[in-house]
Amino acid sequence: MKNLVVLISGQGRNLQALIEHCAAGTIPARIAAVVSNRADAYGLERARRAGIPTEVVPHGDYPSREAFDAALAAAIDRHAPDLLAMAGFMRILTPGFTRHYLGRALNIHPSLLPRHPGLRTHAAALAAGDAEHGASVHFVTEALDGGPLVLQGAFKLRPEDDAATLAERVMTEVELKIYPQALAWLARGDLSLRADGAWLHGRPLTTPATLDALEAAFR
């Protein structure tokens, strides 16, 4: 059984899905710890309720990103992670940190990368007049929101969508489905990071896998 450590900063709805999938065995891993940079993150409460150890590493306590990342890595490594999942973790990570977890760490981002990296992605999709929006799972590398893409899910914008409805649609229509799937692949060894990018089921992912294709396979 693989050890998974989950990093959060807030609500923890993605974390909740991971807790449930690990408990059900659909992700073959145990969540060894949940680590937050904020003591008031509601996701910590979800972890405690599930009996999962928690750690808080407040970023404000450290004089530099390097010092914070060193403390964060120490907290994570106490739990001997095979896998690391950033689930709404809102800190930019240093190259040393990302190198330490290279190939073991995934992030979920609320846009169809490479469109709209960074913050306020829903407003950005609206401002750009995008016809589609969604979310992406990618390997964590030095490039902010720029590591090799693994799995994306997209939906068409509706005329009445605003930033709030888009945030909700991204979460319920896409993120809660694609993140457990990507982590299940990584935990099973079906997904890996190689020198030329992400590989899934023994083949290079020249384009990311899509939620549409996965759902079509089960129709």
**110 counts as binding ligand GAR under rule CB under 6 A:** yes
User: For ligand GAR, which stretch binds (CB under 6 A), given 30-38, 49-57, 168-176, 193-201?
Assistant: 168-176
Nearer to ligand GAR, 13 or 199 (CB): 13
Token pair, residue 195, equals 């020198």
From the list 52, 85, 171, 211, which residue makes contact with ligand GAR (rule: CB under 6 A)? Answer: 171
Binding segment (CB under 6 A) for ligand GAR, from list 11-19, 94-102, 122-130, 200-208: 11-19
46 near ligand GAR (CB under 6 A): no
Which position among 14, 37, 54, 141 is part of the footprint of ligand GAR (CB under 6 A)? 14
- Residue with the shortest CB distance to ligand GAR: 88
State which of positions 117-146 bind ligand GAR (CB under 6 A).
135
How remote is the C-alpha of 210 from its chain's centroid?
16
Write the interaction track for ligand GAR spanning residues 58-97; mark x where CB under 6 A is met and - where it is not: -----------------------------xx-x-------
Task: Based on the shown chain and the rule CB under 6 A, indicate whether residue 13 belongs to the binding site for ligand GAR.
Answer: yes
Least gap, CB of 140 to ligand GAR (angstroms): 11
Pick from 54, 56, 22: nearest CA to 39: 56
HEC sequence for the chain: CEEEEEEECCCCHHHHHHHHHHHHCCCCEEEEEEEECCCCCHHHHHHHHCCCCEEECCHHHCCCHHHHHHHHHHHHHCCCCCEEEECCCCCCCCHHHHHHCCCCEEEEECCCCCCCCCCCHHHHHHHCCCCEEEEEEEECCCCCCCCCEEEEEEEECCCCCCHHHHHHHHHHHHHHHHHHHHHHHHHHCCEEEECCEEEECCEECCCCEEHHHHHHHCC
Catalytic residue among 21, 109, 116, 133: 109
Catalytic annotation on 100?
A: no
Q: Which residues contact ligand GAR (rule: CB under 6 A)?
A: 8, 10-14, 43, 87-88, 90, 108-110, 135, 170-171, 175
Q: Which residues are catalytic?
A: 109
